[in-house]
């Protein structure tokens, strides 16, 4: 029953993100933990149109990202990012999307290696309630070699909630539950969009 519940949770997120057009060109991937000992999780299958629903949208993989038993399809190439999340933390869900806003932000702040946000009400969605709360999102290089990318990404995976921007690639966000991971991703995308619009308005004024 738990496995089916996790499957439905991930399916619902896929449908919602597809409606937001967050999966251009079959990009992006989603993962949800189905077991902790041993580590197992569902992840989106590679190369599929995520705006469509089929019985083979997700595959079940182990702690190394390998298929468990015989299945149709193959795990996303970026499954190794989710492997790092689930092996290094107690997170229950890990989400990766490519949007125009998160790509532009990653390029603008890539040389700094991070972007900082403060003074925004929506930061509370990230579990930060203090008045002067600041949130820092690391920006890492987009290595074409996925194991190298995963190793770089892993340096920033330390707690059950977090986010990392990959320069000109996308953002990966993880949280203790599917709801928390989705909420955090929505908050970060809001902050990215707000920041870009604010910069445009300031330039127009001056």
* Structure token pair of residue 53: 């629903």
Domain regions of the chain by residue span: 2-205
Dihedral pair phi/psi, residue 148, rounded to 5°: -65, -40
CB atoms within 10 A of CB 35: 16
Return the pLDDT at 128: 85
- pTM of the predicted protein model: 0.94
Domain 2-205 has CATH 3.40.225.10: yes
Residue-wise DSSP of 130-197: STT-EEEEEEE---SSHHHHHHHHHTT--SSSEEEEETTTEEEEEESSHHHHHHHHHHHHHHHHHHHH
pLDDT tens per residue across all 206 residues of the chain:
589 999 999 999 999 999 999 999 999 999 999 999 999 999 999 988 999 999 899 999 999 999 999 898 899 889 999 999 999 999 999 999 999 999 999 999 999 999 999 989 999 999 888 888 899 999 999 999 999 999 999 999 999 999 999 999 999 999 999 999 999 999 999 999 999 999 898 888 87
Strand-pairing partners, residue 83, are none
The predicted pLDDT at position 175 comes to 97
Strand partners, 140: 166
CA distances from 100 to 64, 116, 176 (A): 30, 19, 26
* Res 129: pLDDT: 85
Residue 132's pLDDT is what? Answer: 85
Q: According to the model, what pLDDT value does residue 1 have? A: 52
Tell me how far apart the alpha carbons of residues 33 and 174 are, in angstroms, rounded to a whole number: 11
Q: Strand, helix or coil at 164?
A: strand
């Amino acid at each position: 029953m738990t496995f089916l519940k996790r499957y439905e949770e991930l399916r619902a997120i896929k449908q919602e993100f597809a409606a937001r057009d967050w999966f251009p060109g079959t990009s992006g991937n989603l993962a949800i933990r189905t077991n902790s000992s041993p580590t197992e999780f569902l992840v989106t299958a590679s190369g599929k149109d995520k705006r469509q629903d089929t019985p083979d949208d997700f595959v079940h993989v182990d702690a190394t990202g390998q298929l468990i038993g015989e299945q149709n399809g193959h795990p996303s190439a970026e499954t190794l990012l989710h492997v790092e999340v689930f092996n290094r933390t107690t997170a229950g869900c890990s989400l990766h999307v490519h949007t125009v806003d998160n790509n532009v932000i990653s390029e603008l702040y890539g040389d700094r290696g991070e972007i900082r946000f403060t003074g925004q009400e929506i930061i509370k969605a990230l579990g930060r309630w203090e008045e002067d709360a600041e949130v820092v999102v690391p920006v890492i290089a987009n290595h074409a070699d996925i194991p190298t990318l995963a190793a770089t990404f892993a340096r920033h995976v330390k707690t059950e909630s977090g986010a990392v921007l990959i320069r000109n690639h996308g953002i990966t966000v993880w949280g203790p539950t599917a709801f928390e991971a989705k909420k955090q991703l929505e908050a970060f995308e809001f902050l990215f969009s707000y920041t870009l619009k604010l910069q445009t308005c300031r330039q127009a004024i001056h």
